[in-house]
Amino acid sequence: MEEKRIRKDNEAFLKQLNMTDYETTYEHFKWDDLDKVFEGLPSGGLNIAHEAIDRHANGPLADKPALIWLGEDGQERIFTYAQMKKESAKFANVIKTLGFEKGERIYTLSTRLPELYIGAMGILKNRSVMCPLFSQFGPEPILQRMQRGDAKGLLTTKRLYEKKIAPQLDALPDLRYILLIDAEEDVDEKVLSLPSLMKKASDTFEIESTDPEDMSLLHFTSGTTGMPKGVIHVHKAVYTHWVTGAYVLDLHEDDIYWCTADPGWVTGTSYGIIAPWLHGATNIVNEAEFDAERWYGILQDYKVNVWYTAPTAIRRLMRLDIDPLERFDLSHLRVVQSVGEPLNPEAVIWGVEKLKMPIHDNWWQTETGGIMIANYPCMDVKPGSMGKPLPGIVAAVVRQNEDGSVTEITEAGKDGDLALKPGWPSMFRGYLHNEEKYKNSFAGGWYISGDLAYRDEDGYFWFVGRADDIIKTSGHMVGPFEVESALMEHPAVAEVGVIGKPDPLIGQLVKAFVSLKSGYAPDEKLKRELIGFARKKLGAAVAPKEIEFQEDLPKTRSGKIMRRLLKARELGLPEGDTSTLEK
C-alpha cells in the first residue's frame, strides 16, 4: 500500500491535547519531573493504589464515578472514587487479617466483575503482589502459572474454582486461601466467602510505607522454549502508566474511558485499571464478550471519549455491514487506540472513513510494562506504522554481533532487532526465579525486545515480525511450547510442532503439526478429538484451531523440532538455512 499520512487538522482538537508538540516534549522530557505529579504516601514511598484511587477519593473527585460496570444481563453498577477507596480498603483488611504479607503473590482469576477491580487495588494497598490470570485459560496453564509464581492466595468465582482449581488443589500445597467472589458461605476453612468477609471488614486502611521498587505486579508471558515466565513489575511503573495515559491516550479528568482488554492480560491491568484512574477518569468495564451492536451502544450511551481496543475487534467491526455514524451518535469519541498485534493499514483507513478519526496503533510488551512506541493524537499517522518512541524512551534498531556487542542500524528502511535503552520506570525488574533469562534479555547496553523492526527516514518505527515463534492470536500471547506440551499428553501423540498461521480476523491462529504413535489412524475423528483435548486442558483461546498430521516432523540433529521450517513450508516461504536439519 502506498504510504499515506493522516493528520487531524482540527485546531480546537489539537489545542486541548496533553501533548501538542511531540518533538519539543521528547527533547525536554525528564522522568524525574514526574515526581511532582504523584502525592506519595503519608507513611512514605509510592503505592499504585494510593495514586490511582485514594488521592482522588481524598480530594475534589471523591464523588465522581471511578468505575461504571455493565453486566452481561443489563445490570449497571457505579462506584465513585470514595466508594472504591472504601471497598478496596475492606479487601485490603480482609487479606491482611488472613495473614497475607508484603510481596506475597495473590492471583486473580475472574471474568470482568467489579470485585476483580476492587481486589486489584486492595492487593496493592496491602503491598502484596497482584498476579492476573485469564479466565478462559484451561486448568493446566493456570496451574503452571500459580506454581511458578509461588501462589499464596487466589481471588476467583465459584464456577471457575470448581471447574479449574478444585481438581488440582493437591498440586498447590502453598495456596493458603481462596476467596470466592460470589459465595455467600464458606466452602471450607480454606475456600472462603468474600462477601461474608467484606461485611465484617473495616472500610479504612492505612497503606504502609511502600518502596517504589517494591514488587507490585507479576505478569506471565509465554516463551517458545520452556514454560511461562513471571515478569516482575514494581510500584514505580505508575510513572510510565501516567505518561502514556497523558500523551498516548490523552486522558483528562472529565473523560469517560473504555479499554476492552481483559484484566487477565497486561493491557487489561496497565490500561484497563491503572492508567485511567491515575488521571481521575471514569473507567467503563463491560462484562460481556464482543458484540458489535452492544459495543457501539456503549460508546454512544456512555459518551465515551477515549477508546482502547484490539486489532482483532476492529477487524470484526470492519467485516460487519454497519455504518456506525449513521446508526450511533459517537460525537463524544475523541481518541481511538489499538494494541495487541500490529494494526494493518486498512484498519487505520477504515477508522478515518467510518469513525472520522484514525485508529492509533502502538507497541509495547509485558516486559516493558507500558506503551513504548506510539502514534500520538498530535502527530501525523502513517497507517501500518508503530509510531515514534514515548518521551523518555530511547528506541533503536540494532544488530547483535557475535562478540556480544551491539551495533545501531541508522540506515532508514533496514530492519534489525528493536531495542530500548534500559532504565524507564516500568521496565521489568526480572523474570521470577530465572535471573539468567533476565540477563540474556540485555546486550551491549540495550534491552533486546525480540521483535524485528525498521525505522523510516522520518523516525517512525515499523514492525517486521517476531524474532522468535510467539503466536499472537486475538491479542493473546501463546507460547508454542505450552500447546505442544499439552498435546503430548494425549496417548496418540508422538511429537508436536506448533506455529502461528496468519488469519485475517484474529491475526494468527494456532496450528499444530502432529506425528502419531503407531497404531493410531490420522483421520478427521482423531483431529477433532485432539482439538477437544487441547481445549479442555488449555482453554479455547490457547488451543490449536487447526491440526495437520505428519509422519515425520523436521528436526535439528539435536532433536529440536524446527518450527521455523514448519511455518515456511505452510506459507510457501523460502526454507532458509537447513544445515542443521536432521537428515
Same domain as 479, residue 427? no
* Tens of pLDDT, residues 138-184: 999 999 999 999 999 999 999 999 999 999 999 999 999 999 999 99
Same domain as 420, residue 556? no
Does residue 2 sit within a domain?
A: no
Same domain as 279, residue 360? yes
Q: Where are the beta strands (DSSP E) in 36-75?
A: 65-70
Residue of 31, 29, 54 whose CA lies nearest to 43: 54
Same domain as 385, residue 480? no
- What rounded mean pLDDT belongs to the chain? 92
Question: How big is the chain, counted in residues?
Answer: 583
Does residue 304 sit within a domain?
A: yes
Does residue 530 sit within a domain?
A: yes
- If pLDDT is split at 50, 70 and 90, which confidence band does 72 have? very high
Residue of 541, 540, 544, 536 whose CA lies nearest to 164: 536
CA 321 to chain centre: 29
C-beta of residue 203 within 8 angstroms of C-beta of residue 195: no
Same domain as 88, residue 123? yes
Compute CA distances 33 → 25, 36, 38, 243, whole Å.
12, 7, 10, 11
Q: Where are the beta strands (DSSP E) in 81-123?
A: 105-109
Mean pLDDT of the 225-242 span: 91
Q: At 522, which CATH number?
A: 3.30.300.30
Task: Assess whether pLDDT exceeds 70 at residue 559.
Answer: no
Same domain as 447, residue 526? no
Task: Assess whether pLDDT exceeds 80 at residue 309.
Answer: yes
Does residue 191 sit within a domain?
A: yes
pLDDT of residue 249: 98
pLDDT of residue 1: 35
Residue 269 carries which side chain, given as an amino acid letter?
T
pTM beyond 0.85, yes or no: yes
Report the alpha-carbon angle 23-25-26, nearest 5. Answer: 65
Cell digits for 226? Answer: 520452556
Rounded Cα distance between 565 and 329, Å, is 49
* Tens of pLDDT, residues 325-364: 999 999 999 999 998 777 878 888 899 999 999 999 999 9
Same domain as 294, residue 158? yes
Same domain as 558, residue 502? yes
Task: Assess whether pLDDT exceeds 90 at residue 320.
Answer: no
Does residue 342 sit within a domain?
A: yes
C-beta of residue 33 within 8 angstroms of C-beta of residue 251: no
Same domain as 151, residue 83? yes
Torsion of CA 106, 87, 48, 175, to 10 degrees: -10
Angle in degrees, 0-180, between the axes of helices 480-487 and 524-538, rounded to the nearest 10? 120
How many domains does the chain contain in total?
2
What 3-state DSSP class applies to 61? coil
Residue 141 sits in which domain range? Answer: 11-29+31-452
Same domain as 417, residue 553? no
Residue 119 carries which side chain, given as an amino acid letter?
G
Task: Assess whether pLDDT exceeds 90 at residue 39.
Answer: yes
pLDDT of residue 445: 96
Mean pLDDT of the 528-533 span: 96
Does residue 421 sit within a domain?
A: yes
Q: Radius of gyration of the chain from Cα atoms?
A: 24
Same domain as 391, residue 333? yes
Residue whose C-alpha cell is 516461504? 573
Same domain as 507, residue 442? no
Enumerate residues 6+ apart whose C-beta is below 8 A from 442. Answer: 422, 448
pLDDT of residue 2: 40
Of 452, 486, 515, the residue at which a domain comes to its end is 452
Within 13 A of 579's CA, how many CA atoms are on the CB side? 1
Of 452, 485, 514, the residue at which a domain comes to its end is 452
Does residue 313 sit within a domain?
A: yes
Rounded Cα distance between 365 and 340, Å, is 9
What 3-state DSSP class applies to 82? helix
Does residue 457 sit within a domain?
A: no
Residue of 486, 516, 512, 514 whose CA lies nearest to 499: 512
Q: At 52, which CATH number?
A: 3.40.50.12780
pLDDT of residue 400: 92
